[in-house]
Structure 1
């Protein structure tokens, strides 16, 4: 076992969801790569089991990252659940309470053990929904930070909503526009759908707003975005909170040597060889993340729309997913036979590798923030198919602000099934239409900006280095 004595020990705690595990682990690898740092990544045991089953190296022994003496290790804890209750949205309130109670107890013991073993924790970093870690840090007199895993625009939205700083849609005025400082005007269906007065997801609204109330406790908020992408919003919100943009984390993490350490909770299917057989910019990549499920009617319309468009495609359709109550619908009978070599359907994909593959022309996405950042930093235009939450805001920015996207849907507020003709037209527009060339040009511009941000001396790289330096300084005080 490699020696960990003398290293600054930064302890990461993730909420057990794919969209929070991946960015936090990527951040951990980047922090470790700065040198003389031991990073411990922690989450409920169920996450460790899923990561291991997906083929990730999750050893409790420190693994070297980079060439500056940094290391990363894993330590999972009991959350009090025999089953993956966080996969059941209707029971999220119950699970959050359970996670906090059991997690607090387990992490207290873990932190004490590290102190006794000569490797005291110098800083705690958590993701949203486990911000009770900040209270734990306070109890142990340990500095704490948080990783914000959505856009700075959404951070600003929750802040302004929670503090009633600007008018938001209400029962009396459900359709009003929202104007916040340093942001474009958002229509009522472009703010996070959880903030709408008639949202069917009140439990998610309570959870987001409830967790956001604790966001003032960390000494630093590390944001999965980059300065050049959201310059105005970051500059404005940085006057209120200690925000430091450190993304795109997936782009930065590509540069370290811990690439065998992955945060995927599902084992990816082998689709890269199939992509290798396709011409450059000829394949449409379709994926709606790990949470969104598609009803049968929507899967059918999407399938025929893709078929009628004539494009080659790689479609991630995880019909066996356990992360939602509702199962995703099935492909129409005979669809795969009719498509032939023109298309490939997989349960899960190595998305970061897929988006950087030269064969991929555009990305049909639910516009979750991880997917949005991966598309932007890979130079891939987006056909936006948002469902709920921050996805609708991301879709707005992709189309109207960053100008790399076309909206196929406006989210659940639209309350309609997107038909096959809409799908066909959007795919043709994104791959060969009037907007296609301009979207690709803009996408490549953001790719270049992302690469510069994470390169040595870039804005995000500097912010990570300054964070590590700050933790080291706090450690010796």
Structure 2
């Protein structure tokens, strides 16, 4: 290399160094000025009054002024604001579910909605339920799944019971056992997160786990209950709560939501959760305990004409008497309608015999009927071949059918199901009353089954039911769309959590 080339190379290196140094200096200067200006405005705003005694602002150097600011408690808050402006850390939320299918599904939908809005979410239930969830969904415990702007992680705790322990069949005893082992598990998780500078902002649970509220109170963290029944049923319990998120939407239960809101209770109706567009990319994460033959069922429905199939399912808990199963089967035979029937086996703890179907039933209905142990209910109800739904009227099933525009034949068993059935028939106008309550031990005959099926499938009544069902489907879609009532309530709920998160960050 010649002397001139060496000089040019050195000049180039020096020039690059000067340029980089100048950029660094400008960035530092801008940062310092920014902090100075924001600090000055913050400290002398109307809600912050500070005097520096003998020190005169006019004679302060930048260094001495910043030193005074750093000594003041408001700088801590300012520092949090600046850090969040640079890179806002995710808020951390724990959701704790009772280990039953009907409880896990809506809470898991809420978990995905909260994650999609930017939170780091941990979903907790028992190891026994977790084993089934892992098998069905290929979920790895403690590994996070990105959802929207946030993430979802699963954690499972041991309920310390053998599979054949009789306590599993006693709901009161089992709830007490979950409190005994679950309370210290959740409490320790909160401590671990605080020590890792990832404080938990909020605990969310579903019914049957009231001890979660106690854990939250012990740690100074707010807790939220996801109400998984109708707002109409909530009017019997609202005095026990002051803040609630509801699996419903304003357009569906406007009067009851207004009534409870007027009682100074903060209501956030954010449903239908399963149909929220924010979580469409997370449909592979489900709370199912059983893996259904989805493809086979959907293919079978594809082979049927539009509005020709009756879907029959009584949820995960209701178990019909054998005599009632026989009457439904004969009603299906006599009506000649196509059907998809979920006839699930009994849970082991119940000690019940599996259902049987009348002799020759499967052979005689092989061309127009299908009997399965499990089904992807949301996909089934959304399928155009499904005309109506014989249901036990649990709120999850009711919301799914309402949100997907499917008329119902109501056959409630107990509790809130009876109230739901009345509203589906008499208020929402989407149902025909098939039975009043299983608890009455009143048998619904094959003739009644046939009559209601034919009425719901074709004719003036069927058209009226479908018209109303489509109306509620449209209302549900509008509610969860961006800017819809449920979407706005979900955003407001996230702001509630973020406020709690800011407080916990300051504590940490």
Q: TM-score range by the shorter chain?
A: 0.7 to 0.9
Partner SS state of residue 413, structure 2: coil
CA contact (8 A) 1:57 1:260 kept: no
Of 109, 128, 131 in structure 2, the residue corresponding to residue 26 of structure 1 is 109
Match of 1:80?
A: 160
Q: Aligned-residue CA RMSD in angstroms?
A: 1.9
The answer to whether structure 1 residue 224 and structure 2 residue 257 are counterparts is: no
Q: What are the superposed Cα offsets for residues 82-122 of structure 1, whole Å, 9 maximum, x if unpaired?
A: 23769855x11111111111111111112212222332211
What is the TM-score with the length of structure 1 in the denominator? 0.83
2:465 to 439, 448, 452: 439
Say whether 1:57 aligns with 2:108.
no
Q: Is the 8 A contact 2:159 2:181 kept in 1?
A: yes
Comparing 95-104 with 236-245, greater Cα deviation is found at 236-245
CA drift at 1:267: 1.4
Check whether the contact 1:223–1:245 (CA below 8 A) recurs between aligned residues. Answer: yes
**1:381/1:324 Cα in 2 relative to 1: closer, same or farther (>3 Å)?**
farther
Indicate which of 445, 460, 465 corresponds to 1:419.
Answer: 445
Corresponding residue for 1:155?
234
TM-score if structure 2 supplies the norm length? 0.78
Compared with structure 1, are the counterparts of its residues 464 and 72 closer, same or farther at alpha carbon in structure 2 (3 Å cutoff)?
same
Q: 2:218 aligns with which of 133, 139, 156?
A: 139
Larger Rg: 2
1:127-147 CA-to-partner distances (Å, cap 9, x unmatched) read 011121111011111111110
Task: Flag the structure with more relative contact order, 1 or 2, with Cα contacts below 8 A and sequence separation at least 6.
Answer: 1
Local SS of the residue matching 1:400: helix
What is residue 151 of structure 2 aligned with on the other side? 71
Residues 1:8 and 2:91 aligned together: yes
Structure 2: 5+ residue runs without aligned partners?
A: 1-86, 504-508
- Residues in 2 aligned to 1:45 and 1:220: alpha-carbon distance in whole angstroms: 30
**1:128 maps to what in 2?**
207
Aligned length: 414
- Return closer, same or farther for 1:397/1:365 CA change in 2, 3 Å cut-off: same
CA displacement 1:330-388 (0-9 Å, x = unmatched): 11121110001200111000001100011111001010000000000000000011111
Q: Which runs of 5+ in 1 are unaligned?
A: 164-214
C-alpha separation in 2, matches of 1:295 and 1:365: 15
Q: Secondary structure at the match of 1:221?
A: strand
Aligned: 1:401 with 2:427: yes
Question: What is the CA deviation profile of residues 300-354 of structure 1, one whole-angstrom value per residue up to 9, with x for unaligned ones?
Answer: 1110101111110000001254474434421112111000120011100000110
Contact 2:93 2:121 in 1 (8 A): yes
Q: Does 1:264 pair with 2:288?
A: yes
Residues 1:326 and 2:352 are matched in the alignment: yes
Matches of 1:471 and 1:400, distance apart in 2: 37
Give per-residue Cα distances to partners, 1:139-188, cap 9 Å, x unaligned: 111111110000011111345xxx8xxxxxxxxxxxxxxxxxxxxxxxxx
Secondary structure, aligned partner of 2:229: coil
| 8 Å CA contact 1:152, 1:233 repeated in 2 | yes
CA distance in 2, matches of 1:222, 1:389: 21
1:255 is displaced (CA, Å) by 4.3
